[in-house]
Amino acid sequence: MTFKKSKNEVEFNLIKFILSALPKNKEILGPRTLKHVYADESVIVSTDSKRLHMITNKSGDGYLLEPGLYEVVKNIKSNIVLNKVETDLTYPNYKQVIPKSYTSKWVFQKWVRAVEVYTFIIKNHKNSIDPDFVRDLYKLSPDTGLKWEILFDEEYSPIVFTAIDDLFKEYEPTAIIMPIEYNVVEGKHVVSV
């Protein structure tokens, strides 16, 4: 099965969002399946092991993507092509990284710039996250931005971003981003992941 979407289709930005969590380099550590987009009956997921993006897998009366693993054939500014891969590989259990509870919840009711969200996380979570990961959240709606709900439990816990905008509400776009701990050792910042 081949999946093709053009920029003027609603699903284009959703899949662009999913693809932004794939590893950037071709030589990744860990399972080879991380180079693929995974779809099951309920969600479409991608991860590079530092963040996970997922959306609800539905479109009208069916699936946006039939369940399975997909390789990216084309991912350019105006066009996306995915091919379903027949393989015996098993996708990692992505549900393990989804936090079960949260102690803190913030909602951005208006569109804000990515740098404002990033700054907010540093001030309130006591850790940092990769600023590129925050910028990738805006691939869902690059022209208008989105309203986000941000959930986390404690320091060093994953941070969950859920788009609460009516535009994509039925797809429940969610990003789970692992924090980065900054330590100061001998006057230098050291990143612990």
User: What is the DSSP code string of 115-156?
Assistant: HHHHHHHHHHHSSB--HHHHHHHTTSSTTT---EEEEE-STT
Strand-strand pairing, 43-47 and 37-39: antiparallel
91-127 pLDDT, tens per residue?
888 898 888 888 878 777 666 666 777 777 777 766 7
Q: Tell me how many domains the chain contains.
A: 2
Residues 102 and 188 in one domain: yes
Residues 83 and 56 in one domain: yes
Which of 79, 62, 80 lies closest to 71, judged by CA?
Answer: 80
Confidence at residue 28, expressed as pLDDT on a 0 to 100 scale: 55
Cα distance between residue 118 and residue 163, in whole Å:
16
Report the predicted TM-score, pTM, of the whole model to 2 decimal places.
Answer: 0.83
Q: Is the pLDDT of residue 190 over 50?
A: no
Contact 133, 17 (CB under 8 A): no
Q: Is the pLDDT of residue 157 over 50?
A: yes
Least confident stretch, 49-53, 79-83, 180-184:
180-184
Q: What is the DSSP letter of 60?
A: T
Q: Is the pLDDT of residue 57 over 90?
A: yes
Residues 82 and 116 in one domain: no
Contact 141, 154 (CB under 8 A): no
Query: Which residue, of 55, 87, 119, is where some domain finishes?
Result: 87
* Mean pLDDT computed over every residue of the chain: 79
- For the ranges 8-17, 62-71, 145-154, the maximum mean pLDDT occurs at 62-71
Q: What is the DSSP letter of 171?
A: G
